[in-house]
């Protein structure tokens, strides 16, 4: 004699299986979302293609000097003898006398490479993030100088005080694992070969 | 104090607290709005004054006037060329737009983005991709494909003469000289054999242009990093140069200018620049005559003002910002409203 009452019915079995499946799926989805949220931390960065070099990165940061620094993309630099980001407009003699320098903090270093090429390096300890060198480099050269929030300095305020004042809304939150927005460089196409900024 | 009174006082206290918070929030918002919107913009202490460099007051004004413009419905127009009959060819993206009498006559579709074009006296069209040149007939049909110039090649300009075709290659920092069958004859690297000036062509940004000598004596090549124009014979020998770096209207300003050049039928030159966006007219020995189009004629920041000249000396300027071929003519009275 068979005991059918102890055997699960087909409908009951399917219902149970569906329930377990749905629970597992929801659990998995939840775990994935939590994991994603944990991985996706966000930091402030300014988009160099939107930045208008208003000077407020130097004056509005809660840090002094600002966490915003000029960076140099060596990949696109023209290594010009007459660098408009380095020299004052109107000078006739290309020497490194202080009166000839554009940077108000003297944070750009000019190094001879070979005739007639010169390399320009940013000294981040001196740079105040004013962006004065950025505008002429963009207008006359290739735009290899641009401003970035340096995350070894930025304390990542909940509401960035520069972002509040930025007239062009160039500040945005970016994922902490991709914290820089570099001009003239597509990380998906070209491996990063720029020299580490001092 | 009974239970009811206690509850009433607690409620009043809570409501008062919430009210205070709301008033504080509104006041903070208003303060922010006043600070960010109504407060006059402060002077940027780190301002770089580009407008001071663009001033044209003291420059001699040549009698050039804009007499027309042809719209160019192309993605990223890059270069233009005129043939002997006045037909205009403009490249942009993978296309070449053919304009006759101001109207679009044809579009030629090619496999790769076209960087620059030129037309010879027979009406043959030469189009350059980044690494090679193709030759097309007047109907736009492909006639010949020339050899690849290598991995580093980035062609920026082409000039087709009666017997020779010169191709400016920014990537290799050379001008390649071909015969009309596509046979590579020689490379001009701009290096002075006497060793007085090293470096050859200095090209900090991707603008490297040339124009055929109108008398058939070789080619004029821009050496943008030295801010001058150099003359080379058909044998590739440098015979002279003109142009100098500086901040005045007659000089070339920036790291690397002029970006484009054309020689007019009378032997004089027209150049265009970036940084200070302007088009200028120089005599055949390189003396500044005046502006064809001063900086006020262009959108700030525009680059790639390619040039060509018509048979009557009209200058065609490719304005990528306005997507127009703008036509300028000399010898007219200044325009008065």
Q: Give the residue from chain B lying closest to A89, CA to CA.
A: B247
Question: Is the CB of residue A81 less than 8 Å away from at least one CB of chain B?
Answer: yes
- Choose among A30, A109, A27, A101: nearest CA to A72: A109
Cis peptide before A63 (omega within 30 of 0): no
Residues B14 and B151 in one domain: no
Residues B277 and B176 in one domain: yes
* Residue A197 maps to a domain: no
A27 and A117 housed in the same domain: no
Rounded to a whole number of angstroms, the distance from the CA of B281 to the nearest CA of chain A is 21
Do B24 and B103 fall into the same domain? no
* Neighbour-count burial for A98-136, b at 16+ CB within 10 Å, e otherwise: eeebbbebebbbbeeeeebbbebebbbeebbbbbbbbbb
- Any CB–CB contact under 8 A between A69 and chain B? no
Quick check: A127 and A70 in contact, CB under 8 A? yes
Whether B255 and A167 lie within 8 Å, measured CB to CB: no
Q: How many residues does chain A have?
A: 198
Contact A115 B199 (CB under 8 A): yes
Say whether both A35 and A59 belong to one domain.
Answer: no
- Dist CA B316 CA B307 (whole Å): 6
Please tell me whether residues B10 and B76 are part of one structural domain: no
| Same domain (yes/no): B69, B121 | yes
- Within an 8 Å CB–CB cutoff, is residue A129 touching chain B? no
Contact A82 B48 (CB under 8 A): no
Claim to verify: residue B137 and residue B191 sit in the same structural domain: yes
Residue B336 lies in a domain: no
Considering the domain architecture, whether residues A80 and A154 belong to the same structural domain is answered as yes
Claim to verify: residue B110 and residue B16 sit in the same structural domain: no
Note whether residue A149 is domain-resident: yes
Q: How many separate domains does chain B show? A: 2
**Cβ pair A115:B202 closer than 8 A:** no
Q: Is A190 inside a domain boundary?
A: no
CA distance linking residue A68 with residue A162, whole number of Å? 10
- Average pLDDT score, chain A: 83
Which residues from chain B sit within 8 angstroms of residue A80, using beta carbons? 204, 225, 255-256
Angle at CA B147, nearest 5°, toward B146 and B148? Answer: 125
Q: Considering only CA atoms, which of B283, B248, B251 is closest in space to residue B264?
A: B283
B11 and B81 part of one domain: no
**Residue B337: inside a domain, yes or no?**
no
Q: Are residues A15 and A62 in the same domain?
A: no
Residues 19-58 of A with CB under 8 A from B: 53-56, 58
CA dihedral B132, B71, B272, A141 (to 10 degrees): -70
* Nearest CB neighbour to A84, from listed B44, B49, B255: B255
Residue B31: list chain A partners with CB under 8 A.
none
Same-domain pairing of A25 and A78: no
Domain match, A25 and A96 both: no
Alpha carbons A127 and A197: distance in angstroms, whole number: 12
pLDDT of residue B55: 74
Q: How many residues does chain B have?
A: 337
| A110 in Cβ contact with B21 (< 8 Å) | no
Residue A177 near residue A66, CB atoms below 8 Å: no
| Host domain of residue B28 | 1-32
Residues B229 and B308 reside in one and the same domain = yes
Contact B270, B279 (CB under 8 A): yes
* CA angle centred on B313, ends B311 and B317, rounded to 5°: 100
B36 touches chain A (CB under 8 A): yes
What's residue A189's pLDDT? Answer: 46
Q: Are residues A30 and A121 in the same domain?
A: no
From CA A179, how far away is CA B241, in angstroms rounded? 48
A149 or A92, higher pLDDT: A149
B45 Cα to chain A: minimum distance (Å): 7
Q: Give A132's contacts in chain B (Cβ within 8 Å).
A: 46-48
Tell me whether residue A170 is in a domain: yes
Inside any domain, residue B236 = yes
Residues B5, B84 share a domain: no
Report the predicted TM-score, pTM, of the whole model to 2 decimal places: 0.79
| pLDDT above 50 (res A1) | no
The CA distance from B223 to the nearest CA of chain A, in Å, is 13
Phi then psi dihedrals of residue A45, to 5 deg: -150, 155
pLDDT score for A195 = 39
Looking at residue B23, its pLDDT comes to 81
Of B199, B247, B275, the CB nearest to A90: B247
Query: Which pLDDT tens digit goes with each residue over A105-117?
Result: 999 999 999 888 9
Query: What is the model's pLDDT at position A145?
Result: 95
Q: What is the CA radius of gyration of chain B?
A: 28
B335 located within any domain: no
Please indicate, yes or no, if residue B37 is contained in any of the structural domains.
no
Q: How many degrees, rounded to 5, is the angle at CA B257 between CA B252 and CA B263?
A: 90
First to last CA, chain A: 87
H/E stretch holding B116: strand B116-119
Q: Do residues A32 and A89 share a domain?
A: no
- Is position A13 within any domain? yes
Q: Within this chain, do residues B6 and B81 fall inside the same structural domain, yes or no? A: no
A181 falls within a domain:
no
User: What would the pLDDT profile of A127-149 be if each residue is shown by its tens digit?
Assistant: 999 999 999 999 998 999 999 99
The answer to whether position B239 is within a domain reads yes
State the ipTM, two decimals: 0.74
Cα–Cα nearest to B220, from B196, B202, B235, B238: B238
Residues A23, A89, single domain; the answer is: no
Contact A89 B225 (CB under 8 A): no
Number of domains in chain A: 2
Same domain membership, residue A73 and residue A46: yes
Give yes or no: residues A160 and A80 share one domain: yes
**Is the pLDDT reported for residue A198 higher than 60?**
no
pLDDT at B75: 87
How far, CA to CA in Å, does A13 sit from each of A10, B276, B332? Answer: 5, 79, 94
Mean pLDDT by 10-residue block, N- to C-terminus, for chain B (337 residues)? 77 79 77 57 80 71 86 94 95 96 94 96 95 94 95 96 96 96 94 71 94 96 95 92 90 93 96 95 94 92 94 92 95 54
What is the rounded distance in angstroms from the CA atom of residue A41 to the CA atom of residue A151?
13
Whether the predicted pLDDT of A122 surpasses 70:
yes
List CB contacts (< 8 A) between A102 and chain B. Answer: 48
**Who among B41, B46, B204 is closest to A141 (CB)?**
B204
> CATH number of the domain that B180 lies in?
2.120.10.30
Whether residue B43 lies inside any domain: the answer is: no
Q: Which of A58, A82, A83 sits opposite B245 (nearest CB)?
A: A82
**Chain B residue closest in CA terms to A133:** B48
- In the A/B pair of chains, how many CB contacts fall below 8 A? 79
Give the pLDDT of residue B161: 95
Q: The domain containing residue A32 runs over which residues?
A: 9-39
- B301 in contact with chain A, both atoms CB, cutoff 8 A: yes
On whether both A17 and A53 belong to a single domain, the answer is no
Task: Summarize pLDDT for A7-42 with one digit per residue, the tens.
Answer: 667 676 667 666 666 666 666 666 555 555 545 699
B204 → closest Cβ in A79, A90, A102? A79
Question: What pLDDT is stored for residue A34 in this prediction?
Answer: 52
Q: Indicate whether A196 pLDDT > 60.
A: no
């Amino acid at each position: 004699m068979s005991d059918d009452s102890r055997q699960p019915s087909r409908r009951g079995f399917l219902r149970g299986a569906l329930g377990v499946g749905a629970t597992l799926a929801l659990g998995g989805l939840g775990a994935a979302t939590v994991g994603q949220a944990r991985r996706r931390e966000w930091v402030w960065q300014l988009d160099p293609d939107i930045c208008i070099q208003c000077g407020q990165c130097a004056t509005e940061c809660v840090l002094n000097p600002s966490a915003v620094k000029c960076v140099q993309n060596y990949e696109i630099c023209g290594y010009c003898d007459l660098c408009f980001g380095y020299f004052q407009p109107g000078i006739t003699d290309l020497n490194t006398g202080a009166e000839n320098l554009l940077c108000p903090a003297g944070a750009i270093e000019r190094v001879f490479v070979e005739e007639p090429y010169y390399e320009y390096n940013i000294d981040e300890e001196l740079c105040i993030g004013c962006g004065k060198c950025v505008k002429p480099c963009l207008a006359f050269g290739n735009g290899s100088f641009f401003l970035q929030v340096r995350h070894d300095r930025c304390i990542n305020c909940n509401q960035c005080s520069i972002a509040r004042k930025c007239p062009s809304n160039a500040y945005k939150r970016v994922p902490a694992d991709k914290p820089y927005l570099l001009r003239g460089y597509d990380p998906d196409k070209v491996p990063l070969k720029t020299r580490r900024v001092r | 104090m009974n239970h009811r009174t206690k509850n009433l006082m607690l409620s009043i206290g809570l409501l008062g607290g919430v009210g205070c918070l709301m008033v504080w929030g509104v006041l903070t918002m208003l303060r922010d709005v006043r600070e960010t919107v109504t407060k006059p913009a402060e002077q940027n202490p780190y301002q770089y004054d580009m407008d001071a460099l663009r001033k044209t007051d003291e420059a001699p004004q040549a009698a050039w006037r804009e007499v027309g413009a042809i719209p160019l419905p192309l993605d990223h127009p890059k270069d233009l060329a005129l043939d002997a009959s006045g037909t205009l060819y403009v490249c942009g993206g993978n296309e070449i737009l053919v304009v006759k009498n101001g109207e679009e006559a044809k579009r030629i579709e090619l496999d790769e983005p076209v960087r620059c074009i030129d037309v010879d006296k027979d009406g043959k069209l030469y189009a350059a991709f980044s690494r090679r040149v193709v030759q097309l007939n007047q109907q736009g049909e492909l006639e010949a494909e020339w050899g690849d110039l290598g991995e580093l090649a980035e062609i920026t300009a082409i000039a087709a003469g009666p017997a020779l075709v010169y191709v400016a290659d920014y990537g290799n920092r050379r001008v390649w000289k071909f015969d009309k069958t596509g046979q590579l004859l020689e490379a001009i690297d701009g290096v002075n054999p006497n060793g007085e000036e090293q470096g050859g062509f200095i090209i900090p940004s991707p603008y490297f242009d040339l124009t055929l000598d109108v008398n058939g004596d070789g080619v004029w090549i821009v050496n943008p990093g030295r801010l001058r124009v150099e003359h080379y014979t058909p044998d590739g020998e440098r015979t002279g140069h003109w142009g100098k770096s500086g901040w005045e209207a007659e000089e070339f300003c920036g790291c690397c200018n002029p970006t484009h050049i054309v020689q007019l039928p009378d032997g004089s030159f027209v150049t265009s620049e970036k940084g200070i966006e302007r088009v200028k007219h120089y005599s055949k020995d390189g003396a500044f005559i005046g502006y064809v189009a001063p900086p006020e004629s262009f959108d700030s920041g525009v680059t790639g003002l390619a040039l060509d000249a018509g048979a009557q000396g009209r200058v065609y300027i490719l304005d990528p910002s306005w997507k127009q071929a703008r036509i300028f003519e000399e010898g007219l009275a200044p325009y008065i409203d």
